[in-house]
Structure 1
Amino acid sequence: MPIDPIFYFAAIPAVIIMGLAKGGFAGLGILAVPIMALGMSPVEAAAILLPILLVQDVFSVRAFGGQRDDSILLRMVPGAVLGIFAGWLLASFVSVAAVEAAIGLTTIGFAFQRIIAERRGVPAAAARPWAGVLMGAVSGFTSQIAHAGGPPFQMHVLPRKLPRDVFLGTSSVFFALINWLKVPAYAALGQFTPQNLKAAAVLMPVAIIATWAGTILVRRVDGPRFYAIIHALMIIVGAKLAWDGLAALM
């Protein structure tokens, strides 16, 4: 059982943020690994968080998974499988910093474009069938390489303006599947050590409570305000990714 106070100082806020993200405030979760990395290596932080994510996914899917858009999942999940495999295969050749910078800058641009378009009342263009497969692959790839699968998923799904709970249900099922698909890669890399699993078990009660709280809070936010929050979170997340990536490249 971890006894270092620095571990809890970094891990508890990270798990709470991740729980709120799984509870419905999509985008926040990407901040969890960097916060936990204040007290340990990023690789170790990600390995501790993955078992917690798998449990949180159960709660988020139970809360929202009944309302989902299966047509989106049928296109994006096969793409995500290919993306995760490509990320695992190319991990030693791909610059994490470059991926973060590219996704971050693209996310910021997309969020501002959607905010301006919605204020002008410009409808989003209909997505082509292959776009779901492509963005699913990008989401799987960036999730495997840089734990940044959320922005590509949101770029494809947000313009559809799904009802709030349908968006949340689709997102919860998609990322639950992605997280399970990442388990073999983490196991092959030897990341599920007894120490990491014990640390995850210690944090699990906080994670469950935070996820439950997120599902309650998000239901108090109406549709337009929910999408405004998601766009704002995309800008914050995009800025964080761009900053980390560009700083590492310089």
Structure 2
Amino acid sequence: MPQDPGFWLLAIPAVLLVGLAKGGFSGAGALGLPLFALAMDPVRAAGILLPILIVQDVVSVAAFRRTWDKKVLAIMLPGAVAGVALGWWFAASVSSRAVLVAVGAISVLFGLYRLWVERGGRIAAASDSPAWVGALFGVATGFTSQIAHAGGPPFQMWVMPRRLARDVLIGTTAIFFAALNWIKVPAYVALGQFTRDNALVTLALLPFAVAGSLAGVVLVRRISMDRFYTIIYLLMVVAGAKLLWDGVVG
């Protein structure tokens, strides 16, 4: 168990954000890994967070298990498997500093993209784009999810133009990322991240994730979502820039 108080000062808010995302603040969880990676090796941080994500997926899948689009999953999941494999290969082949740069770059791009979208910008595939385009977006989703647990933007770029009904969109998203998180398990096993030490940290942090989920359910109707998300995405850019700096400069 890490003894440095600074670790817990970053890790606890990170898992609280992951919990808030599952409690209704979709998108907030993307800040979790960049924040966590400021405290420890990014691959280990991602390995500690993965079981928490899997546990929390149970609730969202149970709630929307009857409303999902089979075609989207059939097109994107195979590509996501390839993306996870690429992410595993990248993390296994390069130094921890290179992974830090990748996590930082994904975080900065994610934050800037979401800030742009919040102001009316949009990058999306055509609504009638062929299946192979969806498969490519699946690859991008799998890669960014494997490296930084941040597969949301490429997934949304292809799925949102389909204009699925609200519950179908939520259910498809929940089931896709629940499946994707299980697909990532062998990759993190191969990276040596399913260890006793990591499991102890995960267990210590899991109650904070649950508390974050419960808080999200209560707070989602009481605070300004626009202001909340603006702060989250700005913090993602700042945290990502810090990771980039640490990875490049050391």
Q: Distance in 1 between matches of 2:68 and 2:228?
A: 18
Q: Distance in 2 between matches of 1:10 and 1:52?
A: 16
Residue 148, structure 1, aligned to residue 150, structure 2 = yes
Runs of 4+ in 1 over 6 A off after TM superposition: 228-231
* Distance apart, 1:88 and its partner CA: 1.8
Q: Is the 8 A contact 2:141 2:151 kept in 1?
A: yes
Match among 178, 181, 198 for residue 180 of structure 2: 178
**Please, which runs of 5 or more residues in structure 2 have no aligned partner?**
none
State which drifts further: 40-49 or 155-164: 155-164
Match among 192, 198, 207 for residue 190 of structure 1: 192
**Please, which runs of 5 or more residues in structure 1 have no aligned partner?**
none
Aligned-pair RMSD on alpha carbons?
A: 3.6
* Distance apart, 1:235 and its partner CA: 5.5
Q: Which residue of 1 aligns with 2:127?
A: 126
Q: Which residue of 2 aligns with 1:8?
A: 8
| Distance change >3 Å, CA 136–CA 100, structure 1 → 2 | farther
**For 1:71-82, what aligned pairs fall within 5 Å after superposition?**
71-82=71-82
SS in 1 for 2:192: coil
* Distance apart, 1:155 and its partner CA: 1.9
Q: Is the 8 A contact 2:115 2:233 kept in 1?
A: yes
Q: Distance in 1 between matches of 2:243 and 2:5?
A: 29
Q: Which residue of 2 aligns with 1:239?
A: 237
Q: Distance in 1 between matches of 2:201 and 2:110?
A: 35
* Distance apart, 1:202 and its partner CA: 1.6
SS in 2 for 1:148: coil
SS in 2 for 1:34: helix
| Distance change >3 Å, CA 241–CA 157, structure 1 → 2 | farther
Percent identity, aligned pairs only? 48
Q: Which residue of 1 aligns with 2:203?
A: 201
Paired amino acid for 2:140? V
Paired amino acid for 1:174? F
* Distance apart, 1:111 and its partner CA: 6.3
| Distance change >3 Å, CA 42–CA 125, structure 1 → 2 | closer
| Distance change >3 Å, CA 124–CA 30, structure 1 → 2 | closer
Q: Distance in 1 between matches of 2:46 and 2:8?
A: 15
Q: Distance in 2 between matches of 1:99 and 1:109?
A: 15
Q: Distance in 2 between matches of 1:173 and 1:163?
A: 15
TM-score, normalization by structure 2: 0.77
Q: Is the 8 A contact 1:24 1:168 kept in 2?
A: no
Q: Which residue of 1 aligns with 2:44?
A: 44
* Distance apart, 1:139 and its partner CA: 0.7
Q: Map Cα deviations across residues 204-240 of structure 1 (whole Å, 9 max, x no partner).
A: 222123224435655x49xxx98x7898589648735
* Distance apart, 1:181 and its partner CA: 1.0
Q: Distance in 2 between matches of 1:182 and 1:23?
A: 23
State which drifts further: 170-179 or 57-66: 57-66
TM-score, normalization by structure 1: 0.77
SS in 2 for 1:10: helix
| Distance change >3 Å, CA 234–CA 135, structure 1 → 2 | farther
Paired amino acid for 1:101? A
Q: Is the 8 A contact 1:111 1:234 kept in 2?
A: no
Q: Map Cα deviations across residues 155-197 of structure 1 (whole Å, 9 max, x no partner).
A: 2223344444333222221111111111111112221221110
| Distance change >3 Å, CA 114–CA 52, structure 1 → 2 | closer
Paired amino acid for 2:59? F
* Distance apart, 1:16 and its partner CA: 0.9
Paired amino acid for 2:237? A
Q: Which residue of 2 aligns with 1:210?
A: 212
